[in-house]
Amino acid sequence: MNCPNCNKAMKYLRGDMSTGKPGKKYDRSFYECRFCDVWVTVELPQEKEAE
């Protein structure tokens, strides 16, 4: 993932799980640009039910 501001590679910070909608789970990832302090959060829907 590249920074939308300076287009440099962003640093992966961490990931966790999010429940954006009832009954759906998302893999959430946080990215940070070390050059211009831009934050991006990506939420990918999980295809299969976890646990």
Q: Which is nearer to Zn ion, 3 or 25 (CB)?
A: 3
In 1-51, DSSP assigns E strands to 11-18, 26-32, 39-45
Binding map of Zn ion across residues 6-45, x = CB under 5 A, - = no contact: x--------------------------x-xx-x-------
- Say if residues 32 and 10 touch (Cβ distance below 8 Å): yes
Segment holding 41, helix H or strand E: strand 39-45
Closest separation in Å from C-beta 43 to Zn ion: 20
**Contacts to Zn ion by CB under 5 A:** 3, 5-6, 33, 35-36, 38
